[in-house]
Structure formats: C-alpha cells, structure tokens
Structure 1
C-alpha cells in the first residue's frame, strides 16, 4: 500500500467549523473524531438519528479513554482531571431526498454557525439499481447531485468564513472507469453498478474543476480525494453480488484493504494541511497530490455537467438565479492567439508605439490598415467568426500535443500502480 500515511496533528481553532456528511460510520466517523480531537467544532450530517446519536456517544467515550491513557503515560503520578468533551453534534440529512437536503440546509443556516470546511463524504456504494425519492438513479443523486445542491446553498457561509475555507469531495480511483453520457445518468440506456459508482465519483471531480474556475480569489479551495480501498461498512452495498463479495473478501485476506484510520488520512490532509492554503483543484491520493483521469479533466464535459445539473435543480425549484449570480463565468477575453489577425496587428502597433519605437509602430499600423483593405471592410463580427471557425478546423488537423501524450502515459502509470496496490 506504499509508505506510512499521516496528516498534520496541529491544533485546530475552536472557532473553525467542519461539516461532514455521513460522519456516523467508516472514514467519515474517523474524520469527524480526528478533527474534533484537534479542537474544531464538528457537525456530522446523517440519515439515521439513532445511528448518529450512537456515533456521537461512541466518539465521546473513545475520546475520554484515549485521553486518560495519554495522560497516564505522560504523568502517571498526577491525579486525574476532568477531560473536556469533544465539540461534536449531529443533524439529520438524507441525500436521497431533495426535500431532506433543503430542510437540512435551512436548519444549518438557522443555527448561526460559520462554515469553514465542507466535507462531502456520504455515499452510496456500487449497489443494485435503485431510484431515489425524486426519481433519480441513487449513485447520481446521493454521491453527486444532492452534495452539489448543498454546496451551492452553503457557499455564502464558506465565503464569509474565508480565507482558507475548503470543500472536500471524497471521490474514488474508480472514477477512472467512468463514462460521460448525460443521456444515461438514470440508467435509461444501460446500467452497470460499478460504472455508475465510478460515474458519480467522476462527476465530483469534474465539479471540483468547475467550482475552482468560479471561486477564484474568494479564499475557497476545492479538493477531491481517493481514500483507498477501505475495510468499512461502505462495502455492504456489494453484499448481494457474489463476484464483488468474493473480491472484497479476497482483498481482506490478502491484506489489501486499509483500516478506517488510514482511510481517513487523505481526507484529513485535504481538510487540515495548511501547506495547501490558497491552492485549489487538487486530487489527492495516499495523502499526496495525484492525477485525476483525463476524461474528468475535459473542460467541455465539466461545463456540460454544470449546466445539466443547474438546469435540473432549477427545474425542481431548488435553485434561483440570484443564488447563482456570483458563479457565472465571464466570457473569455480573446488573446493574441485567437484574435483576428488585423486586430492583433493593431494591438502590436500600439504596443510598439507605447514602447518608444515610433517607426516600428507606424509600420505595424500601416500593415494593419492594408490587412483591413484586403478584407474588404466587411462586418467585424463576421470576420471574427470566420477566424474562429478557421482556427477550429486547424486545431482538428493538429497532431496530439506532446503534453497530452505525457498526461496519457502518466495516467497509464497510475492505473498500473493501482493494480499493484
């Protein structure tokens, strides 16, 4: 599994608030407990009130026991003093329901808490085909869409708590098996449980990149993590599938699984490590930045997914234009590389004159004028469009860039490493 995993065990300010979905079990539980032990305020959002209560009580009990052991090692002769409880509480959230998600959002806002770090940890794992209360395929809604809805509504709180606010999406290396087909998000055409799980995790990563573009200079970082193959209750979703159950059992026998403590490490690095302050759009694996799949990095797919998701949630009445105002991307400014040639030459002429080379500036100005004469003085917007179309055709004919070849080779290396793990 590689070298020993670790995260910074530095004290966390009691003023910092961490919201973790699915924090009642597995790596979510371990993440919540670790952050609370460092001093932060933690809210776990869970579907079952009973299980959430049990989780909080268990955390408190373990904390008391562990703290007493530590104190006895350090000062065995000193009398025991009261140990402060962890600052952790629970709230009800069912990500398979938009109604529950919206109720949770309003309930969280009503508490008046700030929000410094949102950890989207809860998930539905490679189960048989199911449909949510809202009519969507379960992986799509639970793992991706409801988390997206919640993130959008809680962004104002993250902005207010910035700088160094963070959004952490718990993804998976299975995202490399995802396919991008927005016409099949509900399994209308076909369904494969592992592929749909991979799709939902790929959507989380695509969403990370889309948010990063929209949150520049806001002090909010967006990260995604692969926790590793973890021995937790999450794998119960595959119990009905004999082959997957066998593979899961075999992985345990061969000691290929991580325990929940190690499984939480990468999430804790993304949530806590100050070395990543001011950075964004990083995919972490084994506590280190790594490469997400080439498909998840395709900008046109990221933007198509964003529009698809926003339109869907607006249609359901859960998003407003006002909420999305600050998340509209500006139209990209044309650069010297894609501006019409005459326009680019005019700018070159102005730059040369401003730089003190009047003769060169005059020469370039004349060249620009001649260029316009040859074009016949037609409509400027039509010329721009013609240049754009020409550029597109030239781009199609261009051979793959060396950088893209390197990225593809790197991705193949990553897949080989995953097989070894």
Structure 2
C-alpha cells in the first residue's frame, strides 16, 4: 500500500548550510525526528523523509544500532544533502529523554516533524527505570515528555510543523483505568497494550486542542496496519503459549511489510494534503473514526494532567 501523495516524492527544499553548522533563522531545510528509527516502520519513515531531503534524526536507545541504521540510510539515500543524525535516548528512562530534549532546547534548532513511532507490545509484566508499567511508560509517557519538551522547537510560526503519533487499532479495546493506571493488579499484557495505544490517541487529540493557532503545528495519530516488525518480539515462539503459535504464523502471512506499514506515517509527516489538518486518526492514509472513549475530552484532560505529574513537567 502506497499513498498517492506524500510518499518518497516531492521536491527538495532550497539548499542550506552544511550539516553540523550552527543554525540560522530561518533555516531553509527541514528537520525530522523519529523515535525507534533504527528498524521497522521507523526506519522506512526515516528513509522516505531522507529522500525528500529532510535532515533526519534517528532517536534510538541503542547507539550501535542507530549508527548502523544511519550508515544504511546514507548508503540507500546518497542524494540526501542534509545528513542523518543519531539521538540516543531511551523512552523507558525519562532521565535520558529529558537530558536529550534539554540539549535540543539549548541548541534551539527548529523541528519540523516529530514522529512518535517507538513502542513495545504485549510484553511480560515489566517496569521502566522510573517504575512505570513498561507499555504505558514507553508508548505514552516517554513520548509525552519528549513532545512537550520539544514544543518550543515545534512552534515556530513561520515554519509549519507536524507531530505524528503511531497508535494502533488496539486502542479500540483500550480503556484508561485511572484506578490502576500502572496495571499492578491482575496484569494482562494485551489490556495494558490497549490502554497505552488509547493513551496515544487521547494525547494526540488533547495536544491538538491545546496547541495555539499561532504555533502553526498540527498533531495527528494513526494505525499503521498489522506489520511484521520487531514490535512482535514478545510474541515470538518460545515466548508465547502453545495455542498462540499457529495463529502467529497465520497472521504473519498476511502482515504488511515495514515499508507498507510506514505509508500512513510518511503521509501525515510530509503530504501537502494534510497541511493544517489536526486532531485526526488515520488508517491507510485516510481519516477514520476512533473509539468512543478516545473522544472523551474529560478523560483526555485528566490523562494529560496525570501524565504531566508522572513525568515531572
């Protein structure tokens, strides 16, 4: 599946200064930061934006894997003139997110596109470094902190910017349980995953409501499809119940490739068709209706306040 607009095409921006040069205002090239960009749909999104001559920043927790992804991108997209950078941060460690985002704030380089892509799915009961349930911590809270700290760099009126958050159709069975947000009682990996993906949608909608018009910034979320990526690493044989194995093999045969799964992310990040569009949920490059709970503004506002308290904003 490839979207009609916003794929790998599009004219490059005007030439700017060399990679690594001190930023001038206004910059005449675009910058995209993508979390979890060393593999899967994150890597494919980075590749597509590099082909549009964005300066691409790969935000990853493993420096060696990130550097390998950077080398591969430079080999695959030699025509990119803006360069590929690595940002080492672990969404399961808010200290590392905060440290990198603070350095970005200090440098003051505008960001044109933020793709909140990294995630974990249906893992065993685990905690982040800060003591949060792993799926809520990585999928939602880490991205919540990163996005909020980067808002000053995403809110330059003369530069339209976009925040794209990768959710999932799993949000339809999600529910925000404020009485047990960290899933400490009767942990169920899929229930926790659904909650984290619903949190992604609620966060995107609430962010769209809170962004002032003058910020010239949009926030949208999406379902990438059922994609064969490392996201399913906790569902691999040896990590699942015996009855799940044939279902996994069957499902894998009908899964999208990472390139196919990245198309809606690429579309929302770069297509002129969605310039100025905000507060929407997309699937296959088209807006769709999300779950009923995702439109509950009271739940969204409460989740925002609770999240801000948890991450120390």
TM-score, normalised with respect to structure 2: 0.89
Matched position secondary structure for 1:129: coil
Match of 2:169 in 1: 173
Query: 1:116-135: CA deviations, max 9, x gaps?
Result: 11110011111111011111
Within a 5 Å distance, the mapping from 1:276-315 to structure 2 comes to 276-314=274-312
Residue equivalent to 1:234: 231
Return the match for 1:139 from 123, 127, 135.
135
Q: CA deviation at 1:103?
A: 1.1
Tell me, which stretches of 5 or more residues in structure 1 are unaligned?
Answer: 65-82, 320-421
More relative contact order, 1 or 2 (CA 8 Å, 6+ apart): 2
* Matching of residue 275 in structure 1 with residue 289 in structure 2: no
Compared with structure 1, are the counterparts of its residues 86 and 54 closer, same or farther at alpha carbon in structure 2 (3 Å cutoff)? Answer: farther
What is the CA–CA distance in structure 1 between the aligned matches of 2:127 and 2:244, rounded to whole Å? 21
Change (3 A) 1:245 1:158: farther
Structure with the higher helix share, 1 or 2: 1
- The root-mean-square deviation of aligned C-alpha atoms, in Å, is 1.7
Q: Which residue of 2 aligns with 1:189?
A: 185
Offset, 1:85: 5.7
Correspondence for 2:52 among 15, 31, 38:
38
Per the alignment, residue 410 of structure 1 pairs with none
Change (3 A) 1:163 1:291: farther
Larger of the two Rg values belongs to structure: 1
Q: Deviations over 1:119-154 (max 9, x none)?
A: 100111111110111111000110000110111111
Counterpart Cα distance in 2 of 1:12 and 1:193:
43
Equivalent in the alignment of 1:123:
119
Q: Does 1:223 align with 2:237?
A: no
CA offset digits 1:305-364 (Å, max 9, x no partner): 1111122233xxxx2xxxxxxxxxxxxxxxxxxxxxxxxxxxxxxxxxxxxxxxxxxxxx
Distance 2:80 2:139 in 1: 35
Specify the alignment match of 1:415 in structure 2.
none
Distance (whole Å) between structure 1 residues aligned to residue 86 and residue 295 of structure 2: 35
Q: Do the aligned residues in 2 keep the contact of 1:5 with 1:262 (CA within 8 Å)? A: no
Change (3 A) 1:298 1:263: same
Q: Distance in 1 between matches of 2:121 and 2:133?
A: 12
Query: 1:281: how far off?
Result: 0.3
Q: How many residues align?
A: 293
Q: Normalization by structure 1: what TM-score?
A: 0.67
Distance across 2 between alignment mates of 1:152 and 1:4: 31
Distance in 1 (CA, whole Å) between partners of 2:292 and 2:90 is 32
Q: Residue 246 of structure 1 corresponds to which residue in structure 2?
A: 246
Distance (Å, rounded) in 2 between the aligned partners of 1:186 and 1:84: 43
After superposition, give the CA deviation of every residue in 1:273-302 in whole Å (9 maximum; x if it has no partner). Answer: 112112210101011111111111111111
